[in-house]
Chain A
Amino acid sequence: MKKYNNPVGVSKFTGLLLISPFIIGSILFIIYPFVCSFVTGLTKYDGIHSPEFTGLKNYKNMLTNRHFIKAVGVTFKYTIIFVPLKLAVSLLTALLLSTNIKGIGFFRTIFYIPSILGSNLAIAIMWQYLFTRNGLANQALELIGLDGVSWYGDDRYALFIIILLRLWEFGSTMIIFLTALKEIPREYYEASKVDGCGSVRAFFSITLPLLKNTLFVNAVLQTISALQEFSAPYMITGGNPMKSTYTVGMLIYDEMFSYHNAGYANAVSWVLFMITAVVICIMFRLTGRIRKDIP
């Protein structure tokens, strides 16, 4: 019997055959659209008629387009505020849910539910009940003697109701933290207790250092999704008021589907991809030594 030089003992052809669905799928649904999108970004194309090659014109137009520059600003503002908040909320909840109290499974399920709801029409309506002029949030503020806030109408606050929606959907991030927390040996905490270490000190000296890599993974995942944010502002505010919640994702959608400007939309998509790649590279670079320095 012929022996093959691999642990499972199959031929190279069989191996390729077995992974071919993945390879074909990647070529068809990732690599082809990726290249196609880049090429379309070099054209004037309305999505219906034949494209016309225009070189880097779409990219040049972007640099002078006020809406694009504003959308990039909004997207960065959203990402910078949202990502640290999301990590903090998820970690805090994971810490609470890592205790062994009765019915903890029920609480974990309850806290995960918002994540599977997404930003659909029902959520948009619920947010209106909460944050419009006579909504529950303003009623609560008035109860404690504060003035109501113009959540939807004030360009200083509108982004926060989007951030709040995404914060509320902290389930997946929390689950990743929860799993990592379970991996930390109990003995570390017991030893620290013997040495007179309090829970806050234990958190900063044991938990946080041992969660560094998980924290980084979550930070990367959340940064990518924040930079690509589309559905929450689309459903909740429509980018209003004064484009203060108008993200790059919304701009791509509008250019592509509302304004028949597929060439420009694809060029913006590529710029968003490059921005995301650069941000993630910077994150890797800045945290490289800290991540490696695991006790």
Chain B
Amino acid sequence: MKKILLSVVCTLILFSCGNERVQKTPPDNKLNKCTLRFSWWGGDDRHNATMKAITLWNARHPNIEIKAEYGGWDGWTEKINTQISGGSEPDIMQINYDWLVTLSNDGEDFYDLNELNKFLDLSGFNEDILSFGTVNGHLNAVPVSLTGRGFFYNSEVFEKLGISYPETWDELMTTGEIFYENGCYPIDLDIQSGGTAWYISVVYVQQKTGREFLDMNGNLGFTVEDMETVLEFYKRLEENHVTRTVRERIDADGNSALYQSPEFIQGNIAGVLEWNSAVGKYESVLDKGVLEAGNYIGDENGNNSGWFVKPSLLYAVSANTKYPDEAGAFIDFLLNDKECADILGTSRGIPASRYAEEELEKTGKLDGLTKQNADMLDAMNTVTISPYMELSRMKEFYNMAIERVSYGKGDIPEIAQELYDNITEYLESIK
């Protein structure tokens, strides 16, 4: 009897620990008086532009107040995960591409935006773009823009040293040596949340072999030997002083992001590999016009394939929102409204919405680093990044492997094998 009672209690607790799926509030096709929470991450440039856009919305819609929740990228995923676990997430969220895998793998955990078509106009988006936000036939999120990581250089430092921006891997290595002789580095690769050390090395191998690291369904395309080449290439980057070693980086900057580092602001680090939709935070800490977009690096035969593109950010609506129509209307405003497009500019990349892009083109705001980089990507043979590649656990695997290579803790073949095993085991466990 006691055992039965105990198992009943345990079952009840277990049931109460798990989140039950909340019944979605159906759209009522009218805009009601309400307050909506909208959250995003980014740098100061994005924060300022978005706050101005919200002010415009609040002036136009005094009955629908938008409350802003924003911050930097570090720790943002954890914050949203906690909110979603507790059912206290904002009504409208700027989400990252891989969150669709972790937060809504069946497409049921964000609002289906197809249901909000009364107020959310998606006619400015092509089907391919919208497919990035579609899970199991449900439009869980609308991509704000497409982005890729590009090279952005401190032009003053390059001019001073009389060097042009590298275009091939060999030139990159030579540039590293010249910079090192002058006490600085051409770029900086990290093993923190950005994980650019792994990223650039994977691109190198993709370009060399023509194989994709991961496909869209999370199938691993690289062999153990490819992993080994990735890690060996990263080691070469350090040995040729293209980037600081992990230890040098931590010693100089502690736990800070590069754009907050005096080394970058003073020009000792003269470049960064960053998403074109997020380069504003680097641009804003240097004098205007100092940061310039460099070329995508390829081999000596002019092959510069293998570089990744992805939806930079997506807007999603909480499945728990009580005001889906109002949330849809606000997303429509952010994506399509001309005045709003003028205010937001390219703070989230080149808008994927045709209407917003046309407006920026008309007002001459479609320029700058983001545009220059996006144009380069348009002309290249790019690879669409798998949402599985950016999962936190995967980043942990890459970063640990890179750190071990950098600190010389273990042989590269052994580290590559371990990395391969970890990745395959993890991918199998989540699919």
Contact = CB atoms under 8 A, between A and B. Distances in A.
A254 B248 CA distance: 25
B404 A258 contact: no
B17 A152 contact: no
Given A35-B13, A257-B81, A257-B82, A236 B403 contact: no
Given A51-B18, A258-B78, A260-B102, A133 B392 contact: no
A35 B396 CA distance: 31
A4 interface: no
B17 A132 contact: no
Given A153-B247, A236-B254, A260 B81 contact: yes
Contact of B254 (A127, A243, A254): A127
Given A45-B18, A257-B81, A152 B251 contact: yes
A74 to B, nearest CB: 15
A40 B77 contact: no
B285 to A, nearest CB: 15
Contacts of A154: 247
Interface string A112-154: 0000000000001001100111100000000000000011111
Contacts of B109: 48
A84 interface: no
B14 A241 contact: no
B78 A257 contact: yes
> Which of B14, B78, B84 has the most chain A CB atoms closer than 10 A to its own CB?
B14
A235 B255 contact: yes
Interface size bucket, B side? 35 or more
A262 B403 CA distance: 27
Given A43-B14, A51-B14, A153-B248, A132 B254 contact: yes
A102 interface: no
B250 A241 contact: yes
A39 interface: yes
B3 interface: no
Contacts of A51: 14, 17-18
B96 to A, nearest CB: 13
Interface in B1-50: 10, 13-14, 16-20
Interface string B369-399: 0000000000000000000000011001000
Interface residues of A, number: 41
Nearest to B106: A49
A50 interface: yes
Given A47-B85, A259-B393, A262-B85, A152 B14 contact: no
Contacts of A150: 247, 251
A235 B254 CA distance: 10
A124 B255 CA distance: 8
A237 B400 CA distance: 15
A277 interface: no
Contacts of B407: 155, 241-242
Contact of A241 (B17, B81, B103, B246): B246
A237 to B, nearest CB: 6
A241 B403 contact: yes
A237 B254 contact: yes
B252 interface: yes
A73 interface: no
A237 B255 contact: yes
Nearest to B81: A257
A133 B252 contact: yes
A188 interface: no
A265 to B, nearest CB: 11
Interface in A256-273: 257-260, 262
Interface in A233-254: 235-238, 240-243, 253-254
A203 interface: no
A258 B17 contact: no
Contact of B251 (A40, A153, A258): A153
16 contacts: A36-B13, A39-B10, A45-B18, A51-B17, A127-B254, A150-B251, A154-B247, A236-B255, A238-B255, A241-B247, A241-B250, A242-B403, A253-B78, A258-B393, A259-B392, A259-B393
